Structure 1
Amino acid sequence: MLRFLIRRTSGAALILLLISAFTFFMYFAIPQDPATLACGKNCTPDALALIHKNLGLDKPLPVQYWEFLRGIFVGRDFAVGHCDAPCFGVSFRNNQMVWDTMMDRLPLTLSLMLGGLVVFLIVGLGAGLTAARFRGTWIDKLFSGASLVTSSFQIYLLGPIVLGIFVYSTGWLKAPKYVSFWENPASWFMGLLIPWIVMATIFTANYTRMSRSSMIEQLQEEHVRAAKAKGMSSRFVFFRYAWRGSLIPIITILGMDIASLLSGGMVTELTFNLSGMGRLAIDSVTGKDLPVLMGVMIVSAAFIILCNIVVDALYAVIDPRVRLS
Structure 2
Amino acid sequence: MLRFLARRILGAIVIILLISAITFFLFFALPSEPALMSCGKNCTPDAIALINKNLGLDAPVPVQYWHYMAGIFAGRDFSVGHCPAPCFGYSFSHQQPVWDTIVDRFPTTLSITLGGAVVFLVVGVGLGMLAAAYRGTWVDKLFSSLSLVGNALQIYFVGVIALAVLVSGLHWMDNPAYHPITENPVKWFTGMLIPWLVLSVIFVASYCRMTRSQMIEQLAEDHVRTARAKGLSRRTVFFRYAWRGALAPIVTIFGIDLGSLFGGAIITEFTFSLHGLGRLAVSSVSETDLPTLMAVMLVGCTAIVLANIVVDAAYALIDPRVRLA
TM-score, normalising length from structure 2? 0.97
From the superposition, tell whether residues 231 and 321 of structure 1 become closer, same or farther in structure 2 (CA, over 3 Å): farther
Mapped pair 1:68 → 2:57: no
What is the match of residue 28 of structure 1? 28
Paired with 1:322 and 1:290, the residues of 2 have a C-alpha distance of 39
Mapped pair 1:160 → 2:180: no
Counterpart secondary structure, 1:82 = strand
Paired with 1:233 and 1:308, the residues of 2 have a C-alpha distance of 35
Paired with 1:147 and 1:170, the residues of 2 have a C-alpha distance of 25
For 1:19-58, list aligned pairs within 5 A: 19-58=19-58
The answer for unaligned runs of 5 or more in structure 1 is none
Mapped pair 1:233 → 2:217: no
Task: State the Cα deviation string for residues 74-114 of structure 1 (Å, max 9, x = none).
Answer: 01011222111111111001111111111111101110011
Counterpart secondary structure, 1:258 = helix
Question: How far 1:319 sits from its partner (Å)?
Answer: 2.8
Paired with 2:200 and 2:61, the residues of 1 have a C-alpha distance of 43
CA contact (8 A) 1:57 1:64 kept: yes
CA contact (8 A) 2:154 2:202 kept: yes
Counterpart secondary structure, 2:152 = coil
Counterpart secondary structure, 2:96 = coil
Question: How far 1:237 sits from its partner (Å)?
Answer: 1.0
Letter in 2 for 1:297: M
Question: How far 1:42 sits from its partner (Å)?
Answer: 2.0
Letter in 2 for 1:93: S
Paired with 1:143 and 1:324, the residues of 2 have a C-alpha distance of 38
Task: State the Cα deviation string for residues 224-263 of structure 1 (Å, max 9, x = none).
Answer: 1111111111112111111111101111110110110111
What is the match of residue 127 of structure 1? 127
Letter in 1 for 2:96: Q
Task: State the Cα deviation string for residues 260-283 of structure 1 (Å, max 9, x = none).
Answer: 011100000011110001111111
Aligned-residue identity in percent: 62
Question: How far 1:14 sits from its partner (Å)?
Answer: 1.6
TM-score, normalising length from structure 1? 0.97
Report which stretch shifted further, 260-269 or 310-319. Answer: 310-319
Paired with 2:233 and 2:4, the residues of 1 have a C-alpha distance of 39
For 1:254-293, list aligned pairs within 5 A: 254-293=254-293
CA contact (8 A) 2:151 2:206 kept: yes
Paired with 2:291 and 2:53, the residues of 1 have a C-alpha distance of 16
Report which stretch shifted further, 314-323 or 14-23. Answer: 314-323
Paired with 2:129 and 2:37, the residues of 1 have a C-alpha distance of 54
The answer for unaligned runs of 5 or more in structure 2 is none
CA contact (8 A) 2:37 2:92 kept: yes
Question: How far 1:29 sits from its partner (Å)?
Answer: 1.1
CA contact (8 A) 1:80 1:95 kept: no
What is the match of residue 173 of structure 1? 173
What is the match of residue 307 of structure 1? 307
CA contact (8 A) 1:24 1:294 kept: yes
Letter in 2 for 1:195: P
Question: How far 1:321 sits from its partner (Å)?
Answer: 4.5
Q: What value does the CA root-mean-square deviation take over the aligned residues?
A: 1.1
Task: State the Cα deviation string for residues 28-53 of structure 1 (Å, max 9, x = none).
Answer: 11121111111112222232222111
Paired with 1:12 and 1:236, the residues of 2 have a C-alpha distance of 38
Question: How far 1:207 sits from its partner (Å)?
Answer: 0.3
CA contact (8 A) 1:155 1:199 kept: yes
From the superposition, tell whether residues 153 and 144 of structure 1 become closer, same or farther in structure 2 (CA, over 3 Å): same
CA contact (8 A) 2:4 2:323 kept: no
What is the match of residue 98 of structure 2? 98
Task: State the Cα deviation string for residues 143-194 of structure 1 (Å, max 9, x = none).
Answer: 0000000110000111011101111112111110100000100000010111
What is the match of residue 201 of structure 2? 201
Task: State the Cα deviation string for residues 276-309 of structure 1 (Å, max 9, x = none).
Answer: 0111111111110000111111111111111112
CA contact (8 A) 2:128 2:209 kept: yes
| Matched positions, count | 325
Counterpart secondary structure, 1:246 = helix
Letter in 2 for 1:80: V
What is the match of residue 79 of structure 2? 79
Report which stretch shifted further, 269-278 or 78-87. Answer: 78-87
What is the match of residue 146 of structure 1? 146
CA contact (8 A) 2:116 2:196 kept: yes
